[in-house]
Amino acid sequence: MGFIMKGAPYSNDNTPIYSINMEDGVLGKANNNGTIVINKDIKDPKKIQDVVDHEMVHIDQMKRGDLDYDDNNVIWKGKKYSRASMEEGAKNLPWEKEAYQNA
C-alpha cells in the first residue's frame, strides 16, 4: 500500500515579475492581471525580495476575491475606497495591513 501526496512538496509560483520605471516612492505594484512590477531602481536583492513578498500578498488577495481595483477605486471585500481620498500604500489600509503583516 502506497501513500497519496496532497500537493507538490515544493512551491510552484509562476507569477511574472517585471522591473520597470516607476514613479518616485513606488517600490512595486500587484496588477489584477496576475503580474507584479517592481521599481527598476531597486538594486539590493533583499529589498527586491521584500517588495515581491509584499506584492505576492496582494496577488493572493486578488485570487481570493478580496481585493480588486479600477482607475478610481480600490475594492476590498466589496467596499469601495476612493483612490482620490487615500494615500495608496498606507499601512492602515486593510489590504495593506495584511500585506505588511504577512510579507
Q: Which helix (H) or strand (E) holds 58?
A: helix 45-64
pLDDT digits (tens, 9 = 90+) for 6-56: 555 556 678 999 999 998 889 999 999 999 999 999 999 999 999 999 999
User: Are 94 and 57 contacting, i.e. CB atoms less than 8 angstroms apart?
Assistant: no
Measured CA angle at 76 (ends 93, 17), to 5 deg? 80
pLDDT digits (tens, 9 = 90+) for 55-87: 999 999 999 999 999 999 999 999 999 999 999
Query: What's the burial of 66, exposed, middle or buried (CB within 10 Å: 0-12/13-18/19+)?
Result: middle
d(CA 41, CA 80): 32
